[in-house]
Amino acid sequence: MSKSRRYPWQSPGVVPGLLSLLAMLLLWIAVAWLSDNPRMMPPPFEVAAHIRQIIVSGELWHHAGMTLFRVLASFILAMLVGLVLGLWMGRSRGADHWLNPGLVIALNVPALVVIVLAYIWIGLNEMAAITAVALNKIPVVTVMIREGTRALRPDLDDMARAFRMSPLDRLRHVVLPQLAPHIAAAARAGISLIWKIVLVVEFLGRSNGVGFKIHLLFSSFNVAGVLAWALAFVAVMLAIDLFVLRPWEARANRWRRDED
C-alpha cells in the first residue's frame, strides 16, 4: 500500500510512455512526408509554430479561458445535480423506481440532440450552452453516485443514528467520505467528457472559445490551425487533471494509507 518517495521519471511506465509519444510523433512526420500535402496533413513543426503563435498573441488564453469557464460551470452544475439525484435514488427505493426509466432514457439521448434543443428552447446564449453540457453529464454522474450510495455501510449509519448526529454532520462526516472514491471517479470521467461536449456546443452556437475557433478554422480548411488548437487545449486539460484532480484525489484517500 505504502509508496516510498520516488522521482516521477522513476515510476514504472514513464519510459515506455515517453517512447510511445515519440513513436506517434515519428509516425506523424512520416505520414506528413509521404502525403506531401501540408494543407491536408501538416507536419508537427508547422502545428507547433501555430501553437506558438496563438500563445504569443494571447488568443489561446482568451478562448481557452472561455472554454474552461464553460467546462467548470457545467461541471459544477452536473456534479451537484448528479450527486443529489444519485444520493436520493440510492437511498430511496421509491425514488429509484420512479426516476430510473427517465434516467435510462437520458443516458441514451445523443448529446447533439440535447444541445440543439437547448439552443432552440433557451436561446443562443451562455445559459443554454452550460445547461446543454450539464444535461449530458448529469445522468452519468447520477448512476455512479447511486451505485456508491447503495454500497454505504449500514453499521456507520447505525452509529450516526445512535449518537444522534445531525443530518448535515452525517452527510459531511459519514456519507460523503464513503462516496469520495465514486465522486472522484465521476469527476475524472466527467471532466474529459464535458470538455469534448463543450467544444461541440461552442462549435454550434458560441462566438468565442476553442470550439468556436475550430469552427472558423474548419470553414477555411486550416488543418494546422485545428490541430494546434486541439493539441493546445488537450495540454491544458491534462495539466488540470495532473495538477488539480489527481492531488485532490490523493488527499481524499489519505486515510486509506497505513502510516502517515
- Footprint on this chain of other proteins (rule: CB under 8 A): 155-156, 158-163, 165, 169, 173-174, 177, 180, 255-256, 258-260
Q: Which is nearer to other proteins, 5 or 256 (CB)?
A: 256
Q: Which is nearer to other proteins, 3 or 7 (CB)?
A: 3
> If we measure between CA atoms, which residue out of 44, 79, 97, 38 comes closest to residue 222?
38
The nearest distance, CB 188 to other proteins, in angstroms, is 19
Separation CA 43–CA 25 (nearest Å)? 9
Cell output for 168: 448535515
Q: Which is nearer to other proteins, 52 or 161 (CB)?
A: 161
Residues 6+ apart with CB under 8 A from 39: 221, 223
Q: What is the DSSP letter of 82?
A: H
The nearest distance, CB 178 to other proteins, in angstroms, is 8
Q: Which is nearer to other proteins, 5 or 164 (CB)?
A: 164
The nearest distance, CB 159 to other proteins, in angstroms, is 4
> If we measure between CA atoms, which residue out of 44, 48, 46 comes closest to residue 24?
44
Note whether 136 and 170 are within 8 A (CB).
Answer: no
Q: Which is nearer to other proteins, 173 or 246 (CB)?
A: 173
Q: Which is nearer to other proteins, 99 or 165 (CB)?
A: 165
Q: Which is nearer to other proteins, 9 or 163 (CB)?
A: 163
The single-letter code of the amino acid at 183 is I
The nearest distance, CB 258 to other proteins, in angstroms, is 7
Q: Give whole-number Cα distances, 92 to 10, 88, 99, 193, in Å.
A: 48, 6, 11, 28
The nearest distance, CB 157 to other proteins, in angstroms, is 9
The nearest distance, CB 80 to other proteins, in angstroms, is 22
Q: Where are the alpha helices (DSSP H) in the chain?
A: 14-35, 44-56, 59-91, 93-108, 111-122, 126-150, 154-162, 167-169, 176-205, 210-219, 223-240, 246-252
The nearest distance, CB 173 to other proteins, in angstroms, is 5
Owner of C-alpha cell 448529469: 138
Separation CA 77–CA 138 (nearest Å)? 8
